[in-house]
Structure 1
Amino acid sequence: MNKTFITVTALFLSLNTFSQKYDFQIIKDIEATPVVAQQNTGTCWSFSTTSFLEAEIIRLKGTNVDLSEMYNVRNIYLDKADNYVMRQGKAQFGEGGLNHDVINSARKYGIALQSDFSGKINPDDPYDHTEMVAELEEILKSAVDLTPAKYANWKEDYKAVLDKHMGNTDGVNPIIAQKISAEYKIDLNDYITITSFTHEPVYSKFILNIPDNFANGFFYNLPLDEFVQNIDYALNNGFTLALDSDVSETTFSGPKGIAVIPEKIEDAMAILEEIKPEKKITADFRQAEFENYNTMDDHLMHIVGKAKDQKGNIYYKVKNSWGTASGRNGFVYMSVAYLRLKAISVLLHKDGLQPQTRKALGL
C-alpha cells in the first residue's frame, strides 16, 4: 500500500477521532409551543415559565394554547412596586424575575391569552422595555424619597406608565386559578422548584438568597446527583422543566446553541465548535462557584428534551427565548456538566419527581 496514502489515512482518522464537530441526535423530544423572542426586555423568566405552562397544557389536555407572557410581566411589576416601596427602597427592582413569579401571578391575577393581551401598544413594534423601566424606577424612588404619605398617587402614576408602554388590562378577561384547573387541568399548587446547594440541609425547603427572588420563593434542596437524576426522570416520563441558569460563561453560546464546560481552560474556544472533554462537576465546586459570584441566576429557559452527540455524550435540549435565528433554531444544547454547574434550579410538576425524592421531601 502506498505510504503516502497510509499517512493521509492515519491523519484523517486521527482528526476524525479527536476533532469532531457536533452532530446531535434527539433522544427525547417533548411537545412544546414554538420559540418566541423576548426581544429587548429582561423578561426571560416569564417567557420560560409561560412556555412551560403551555407545555403542561399540552401534556395534561392535549391542547395548544398561546398564553400571554406580558400579562404576567405587567402584573408582577405591580407586586415588585409594592415590595420596593414598603421595603423603603432596600429591595431589588428591575426586569428580572424567577419561575415561581409566574405561578404566583397566575394564582393572584390569573393568566391571559396572547390574543387578549400582547403587551404592546402597536402590534408591529418589537418588545422594548428600556424607557418603561426607567420611568417606573423614577416613580418608585420618588415614592420612597417623599414617602407614600406625601406622594399619595404614586400607584396611579406607576400604572399609567405600564398602560402607556404595555396597554391596560381593562378589556382582558383573565383565566383565574379555578378556571385554569377546570379548563386546562393545571393545579398551580402542584408545581415546585428544586435545586442543589450545600449551605442548606438536603431535603429541606428554604429561601434561596439571590437578587431576583424578591418574592422570597421556596426551593427544595437535593444532593447534586439526585437533582440531576430528577431532571432526567421528569424528561423520561414526559415532563418538561422551567430552568433558571447562569449563561455568563464564554462556553455558553447563544448564537451557536451550545453550552459546555471544558476540562481544560485552553479548550474554551474550540469546544464551541467541536467535542472536547468536559470538567467533572462536584457539589463542592458548584457551591464555590455560586458563593464567589461566578454562578448567578441571569437567564431562564425551558428544558424540553435530550440529545446525544456522535460520541454518546448527553445534552439537554433547551428552548430559549431569543428567537429562532438564535442558536439551533432557537434551542440550546446544554451538556450535563454545564447543567450540574450552572443550573440554579428547575420548576416542575411534583409528579415529575422520582418517588423516593417525593417521599424524602414530604410531597
Structure 2
Amino acid sequence: MKRTLLSAFAILLTVSMATAQVNLVKKASENATDAAKQGFKFTNVIDLSTTPVENQGSSGTCWSYSANSFLESEMIKNGQAPVHLSKIYTVRQAYMEKADAYVLMKGGLSWGDGGEGHDVINMYAKYGTLPESDYTGLVGGKKINRFGPMQKKLKALLDSVIAIKGQIDPAGWKAEFKKILDDSLGVVPATFQYNGKTYTPATFAKEVAHLDADNYIEFISQTSTPYYKKAMMMASDNWAYQWDYNITPTDLTDVIDNALKNGYTVGWGADVSEPYFSWPNGVAFVPKNAEELEGKKLTRDEKAAIYNGDRTEMVITPELRQQGLEDYTTTDDHGMHIVGLAKDQDGQEFYIVKNSWGTKNDYNGFLYVSKAYVQYKTTSILVNKKSVPKSLARKISL
C-alpha cells in the first residue's frame, strides 16, 4: 500500500495518549460538518485506546504508520505505557531488505515507498523498534515526510547496479544505499535512553515493547484460491511475497468484530480511491448504485450528495468482490487502523478507523467505514491470533 497524502498538515505531537485519543473519537461527531450530519449520525459502541493520529506527509508509508499504530495499541492492551513507535525506522529497514530483492530479481519487483502491514511485523522481529522521539526520520528542519527526492536517488543507484549485471561488490552498493538513507532520514542511534535506561532497538523491542511477532496473522479474501488455505497476496507492494490465509468476505468482518469485542484492534489494508470513500466527510460506505460510480471523478458537491442521500447499501458477494480485484476497480491503495465500532441512526454498524493523514477532516483524523465497504474493498487485515474466532481458527488449523 502506498497511498500518498500530498497536502502538508502539521504533525500531531505525541502528547496526550490513550485516554485523550479515545476522547477525540467521542467528540468527533460533535465536530462534523453540517453536510456530514445530514447524511450520517454515529453513536460509538466500542472505543479502543490508541495513540494520537499522525501524518505520513508526502510519503507512501501508510503501511508503516497503520501497522505500527496497531502495535502501539497492542502495547496499550498489554498494560504498557502508550508510546509512538518510529515508523521511519521500520521503513528504512524494509527498504534495505527490498533493495536486496530488487537487485537479485534484476528489477523485476515494484520499487517505491509502498509496503504491507506484514512488513512492519517482519521488521520488528528482525530489527526491533524504538520510540519515534528518538528517530523521526526528519532532517534539515523538515516538519513532515517528503520521500520523492530520496526515492529517485535510491532507484537510480539500484538500477545502476543492475545495469552492470551485478559486477559490483554488494557491500559497496549497500553502503551507498545506506548513506542515501542516512542523509535523507538521519542516522539511526545505536543506543538511546528511555525512562532512564539505555536501549538498542533490539533490546527496546524485547524489554519494553515486549511484543511477540509470532502472535500476528494476516488474512486476504479471493475466490481464485481455496478458502481457509494460505495463498499469495497478489499486490505489487507485497515485495516480500507473503502468503496469507484466504477467507470469505463475511469472515473478514467476523474476525474484525470478534477482535474489537475482545479489546483488540485491527490493521486494515483497503482501496480508498472510490467516490463513495470520503476523507473530508469521514465516511465510507457502498451505495446501492456503487457499480455505476466506479472510476468516476466526482466534485465535492456530487460526493456530498452521495452521503446525504439514500443510505441503502449494495449487497456484497464473494463474486462481486473478486470482480473488483480482477478488473482493477479494487486496488491496494492504503493502510489504516480499525479501532472501534459505531452505529448510524439506522442501526447499521460502522467501524471506527484511524488514518494517517493528519486531523483535518470531520472526525479529527478518524472515519467511519461500513461493513459492506470492508467486505468489498479490503485487501488484507492484520490481527492478533488471539482475536481470531475459534470456529475460524479450527478451519485454518491455527
TM-score when normalising by structure 2: 0.83
- Superposition map of 1:203-242 within 5 A: 203-242=228-267
- Superposition map of 1:18-97 within 5 A: 20-97=38-115
- Superposition map of 1:1-363 within 5 A: 20-122=38-140, 124-150=142-168, 153-172=172-191, 173-176=199-202, 180-265=205-290, 269=303, 270-363=305-398
Q: Counterpart of 2:178 in structure 1: which amino acid?
A: K
CA pair 181-160 structure 1, distance change in 2 beyond 3 A? closer
Contact 1:109 1:174 in 2 (8 A): no
Contact 1:27 1:305 in 2 (8 A): yes
Q: Counterpart of 1:246 in structure 2: which amino acid?
A: D
Shift of 1:175: 3.2
TM-score when normalising by structure 1: 0.90
Contact 2:190 2:200 in 1 (8 A): no
Q: Counterpart of 1:180 in structure 2: which amino acid?
A: A
Identical aligned residues as a percent = 38
Q: Counterpart of 2:49 in structure 1: which amino acid?
A: E
* CA distance in structure 2 between the aligned counterparts of 1:242 and 1:35, rounded to whole angstroms: 15
Structure 2 gap ranges (5+): 1-36, 192-198, 294-301
Contact 1:258 1:327 in 2 (8 A): no
After TM superposition, where is structure 1 displaced by more than 4 Å over at least 4 residues in a row? 265-268
Structure 1 gap ranges (5+): 1-18
- Paired residues, what number? 344
Moved more, 244-253 or 326-335: 326-335
SS at match of 1:115: helix
Q: Deviations over 1:176-217 (max 9, x none)?
A: 2x7635433411101000122111111101221210110011
Q: Which protein shows a greater Rg?
A: 1
The aligned counterpart of 1:16 is none
* CA distance in structure 2 between the aligned counterparts of 1:206 and 1:355, rounded to whole angstroms: 21
Q: Deviations over 1:104-131 (max 9, x none)?
A: 1111111111121111114552210110
SS at match of 1:332: strand
Contact 2:129 2:204 in 1 (8 A): no
Contact 1:61 1:185 in 2 (8 A): no
Contact 2:57 2:144 in 1 (8 A): yes
Contact 2:249 2:376 in 1 (8 A): no
Shift of 1:148: 2.7
SS at match of 1:61: coil
* CA distance in structure 1 between the aligned counterparts of 2:81 and 2:310, rounded to whole angstroms: 38
The aligned counterpart of 1:13 is none
* CA distance in structure 1 between the aligned counterparts of 2:188 and 2:282, rounded to whole angstroms: 36
